[in-house]
């Protein structure tokens, strides 16, 4: 079987699920949403391309279209979560679900056993977007939940895991172009070679903020699990193999690079560095 047909066969198992997802969201009030409309059109195109007689279609084309549909559908769902202010009784499970859906394109590439590397199949922009969206989703979840005093008291280790995973996703986003090593396990974009978009710059600030929250709320000496915290943490299951980051080390380096770019090449472009400098001061004071 040609490689395009192999990918098509694997995708057909998933397309009905994505189609049902779109229909459910549309029936719940999202029918006019431009992202769901676009996703529906993409899924219809994919259904046609995945037919048995379309063996001349390249695997990359099929996988890129599938990825774009996933990105559009989950974007709508993420906005719903934000609009509802991350309900405590259901948002953790929804965040986990969306992270799993956003991981599916990579899983599909692995299942396809293609000779090309992931970057060559999906392309740098789609691959970066998949990691950005997972990291930004965890950023938004943590940003909201840490302000709820009772939740925070009961879920310190869950917060730490979400922050750790979120930073890992964003650091991975930086690794697909020109990267430098932070340490043996983590690399990110060398800003001296250029920042490729506003999203890259925003991701640096997000990393710094999440590292600040991690050190402030989950640092050494903090009480760990209370109540159902351990169960909730196990339930998340995202990036479970990631090792725990040094929040201070990562945060300092990311924010220093953020400030260097904002006050250097992008000076006068309205990028605010005040909060980044306050966080750096906190890192320095807390290390003494």
pLDDT tens string 249-285: 999 999 999 999 899 888 888 899 999 999 999 999 9
**Confidence (pTM):** 0.87
Enumerate the domain spans of the chain.
1-116, 123-288
How far apart are alpha carbons 229 and 66 in whole angstroms?
35
Q: What is the pLDDT of residues 14-69, one digit of tens each?
A: 888 899 999 999 888 877 899 999 999 999 998 888 775 555 778 898 899 999 99
How far apart are alpha carbons 42 and 35 in whole angstroms?
10
DSSP code per residue over 94-129 = HHHHHHHHHHHHHHHHHHHT-SS-HHHHH-HHHHHH
Q: What is the pLDDT of residues 118-174, one digit of tens each?
A: 888 999 999 999 999 999 999 999 999 999 999 999 999 999 999 999 999 999 998
Look at residue 21 in the predicted model and tell me its pLDDT: 92
How far apart are alpha carbons 237 and 61 in whole angstroms?
30
DSSP one-letter code for 245 = P
The residues, any chain, with a CB within 8 Å of residue 149's CB and separated by 6 or more, are none
Whose tokens are 């340490």? That residue is 183
- Determine whether 118 is exposed, middle or buried from the number of CB atoms within 10 Å of its CB (0-12, 13-18, 19+): middle
């Amino acid at each position: 079987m040609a490689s395009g047909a192999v990918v098509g066969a694997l995708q057909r198992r998933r397309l009905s699920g994505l189609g049902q997802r779109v229909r459910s969201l549309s029936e719940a009030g999202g029918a006019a949403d431009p992202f769901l409309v676009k996703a529906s059109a993409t899924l219809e195109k994919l259904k046609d391309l995945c037919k048995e007689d379309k063996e001349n279609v390249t695997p990359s084309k099929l996988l890129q279209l599938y990825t774009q549909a996933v990105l559009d559908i989950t974007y709508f769902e993420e906005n719903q979560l934000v609009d509802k202010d991350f309900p405590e009784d259901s948002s953790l499970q929804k965040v986990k679900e969306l992270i799993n859906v956003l991981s599916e394109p990579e899983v599909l590439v692995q299942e396809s056993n293609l000779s090309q590397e992931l970057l060559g199949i999906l392309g740098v922009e789609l691959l970066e977007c998949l990691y950005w969206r997972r990291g930004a989703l965890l950023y938004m979840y943590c940003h909201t939940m840490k302000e709820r005093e009772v939740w925070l008291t009961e879920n310190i280790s869950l917060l730490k895991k979400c922050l750790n995973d979120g930073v890992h996703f964003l650091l991975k986003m930086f690794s697909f172009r020109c990267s430098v090593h932070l340490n043996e396990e983590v690399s990110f974009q060398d800003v001296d070679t250029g920042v490729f978009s506003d999203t890259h710059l925003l991701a640096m600030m997000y990393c710094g903020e999440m590292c600040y929250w991690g050190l402030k709320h989950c640092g050494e000496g903090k009480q760990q699990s209370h109540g159902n915290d351990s169960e909730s943490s196990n339930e998340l299951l995202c990036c479970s193999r990631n090792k725990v980051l040094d929040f201070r080390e990562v945060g300092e380096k990311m924010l220093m690079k953020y400030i260097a770019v904002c006050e250097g090449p992008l000076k006068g472009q309205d990028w605010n560095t005040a909060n980044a400098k306050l966080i750096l001061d906190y890192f320095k004071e807390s290390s003494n």
